Amino acid sequence: MPFSELPDRRVHEIIAEQAARRPDAVTLSCGDTHWTYSELDGRANRAAAALLHHGLAAEDAVAVATERTPPWAAAVLGVFKAGGAYLPVEPGLPADRIAAMLTGAGVRLVVADGTGTGSVREAAERAGARVLDVGDITGDRWRGDDPGITVTADQLAYVFFTSGSTGTPKGAQCEHAGMLNHMLAKISDLGMTGTDALAQHAPQSFDVVLWQLFAALLLGGRTVLVPTEVVRDPERFVDVLVRQGVSVLQLVPSYLEILLGYLEARPRSLGPLRILSATGEALSKPLLARWFAAFPDIPVLNTYGLTELSDDVLHVVLRSLPEGDLVPIGHPIPNTRVHLVDSELREVPPGEAGQLAFSGVCVGRGYVNDPELNRKVLRDNPFGPGKLYLTGDFGRLPPSGEIEFIGRRDDQVKIRGMRLELGEIETHLRALPGVLSASVVTVTAPDQPGCLTGFVVGRTRLDHAHLRHRLSRVLPDYMVPDRLHQLDALPLTPNGKIDKRALATLATTLRKPVVWTR
């Protein structure tokens, strides 16, 4: 485990120090709106004062349910300054889901645009929480000096609710030290300086939102807020990146595929962009090859992480295509240890598959009010101090020394009595010639029990029989999908990840072996 002593500062304190050094420098850009460090820090102080006035206590979760704007950034920073914990809420979520989040985290204060959307207001009323207008709490009626609240490194920083296998969202809790450690690791491996502009475009409910929002500000750099409607249009997205001078960008592979599709059809410069980070999904070798074909001089930081681990915990900088079929996910960031373990928590030999487990400052507190799940994933660490977090994901350590991702426990299914990882099938599908992306689901309909269904995207029409033949050369028969469907693009979740539920629904309705719409 590489060790690097963390500064005895919190993220909001380092940003306040930058504001004192360069008050008039631009810190946030959103369209034609530009905030200086002084304005952001002052408005965050006002937000903290308002939250404290309304009874916020240390580690109380504050739900922020606003659009991606400079006042949103000030509100999040204000929550940290007041000693609270940030709980992101997408304003358009159903009221039932928002209410479950607010109730689960014991939220008493909700920050919204005005009185909030109908679902936010309904959820707040059901949870007994008060809605505060983000414009009001960041406005001039509150004191603009620092509130002077002591926030410790082991204090709760945020609660992110992720999808639960039972259908109930689960709230992952992480502390300030883990958040700062991750941001500093990103800064180091991306080679960031105070001259960089970092795009913040991830949805608020996606944990990468925090480093995208604040990492550049730790250095005196600039964050570019990109509205959701712009992200949905690749042409407008590139326009904003170039016009705003974005030099550091992070994308999930599913969106990277969409972006490359646009750029391959209409080649153009990405302006001052100097490095790309990939996160959230497995990065396939064909997709990486397409990136380097289009932008050979822009390296890619491939990453692996979980919300429960304060975001990414493995990094590797790629400047060319790696050997082998799998793109490595790298080595542990500072103050973090990775272990590949078997079912008895014994480390497996190099080259063998094992469950990815982590220890160190990255490990959060587990889930809100879920002791049973916490007992399953948070164990006494047999390798050293602290807790060991079991990810449920599987990987291996090849001779290169950079860990490779194999698949997820959530994708482990049983077909014809055999246990298999859908991620392994997807990896081999993506490696086939002509396949740009792929996903595999199981169909559980009465007329299709235990049916493996694959979905692929390609530049041209792909031959179903040929793909299955190629797969049969590297996979046992029970792992070769019974059906393959070709789509123009794979459906995505709001976080930009492949929407497995949508594919599973589609798999039960399609009967023809290949669908081609172009």
pLDDT tens-place values along the chain, 518 residues long: 456 789 999 999 999 999 999 999 999 999 999 999 999 999 999 999 999 999 999 999 999 999 999 999 999 999 999 999 999 998 988 888 899 899 999 999 999 999 999 999 999 999 999 999 999 999 999 999 999 999 999 999 999 987 554 446 789 999 999 999 999 999 999 999 999 999 999 988 888 999 999 999 999 999 999 999 999 899 999 999 999 999 999 998 888 988 999 999 999 999 999 999 999 888 989 999 999 999 999 999 999 999 999 999 999 999 999 988 889 999 999 999 999 999 999 999 999 999 999 999 999 999 999 999 999 999 999 999 999 999 999 999 998 889 999 876 656 565 544 556 787 788 888 888 889 889 999 875 444 445 789 999 988 888 888 898 888 876 767 688 888 999 999 998 877 788 988 998 898 887 665 555 44
Residues 70 and 104 in one domain: yes
Q: Nearest to residue 176, comparing CAs of 298, 62, 7?
A: 7
Residues 47 and 146 in one domain: yes
DSSP H or E segment with residue 380: strand 378-380
Q: Which residue has the tokens 């001039």?
A: 140
Residues 458 and 361 in one domain: no
Distance of CA 58 to the CA centre of its chain: 26
d(Cα 160, Cα 171) in Å, to the nearest integer?
5
Residues 362 and 427 in one domain: no
Domain that includes residue 23, residue range: 11-395
Residues 331 and 436 in one domain: no
Rounded to two decimals, the pTM is 0.83
Residue 42 lies in a domain: yes
What is the domain-level CATH number for residue 74? 3.40.50.12780
Residues 51 and 178 in one domain: yes
d(Cα 362, Cα 184) in Å, to the nearest integer?
12
Residue 2 lies in a domain: no
> Can you read off the two tokens belonging to residue 234?
């690749």
Residue 406 lies in a domain: no
Residues 329 and 437 in one domain: no
Q: Considering its fold, how many domains does the chain have in total?
A: 2
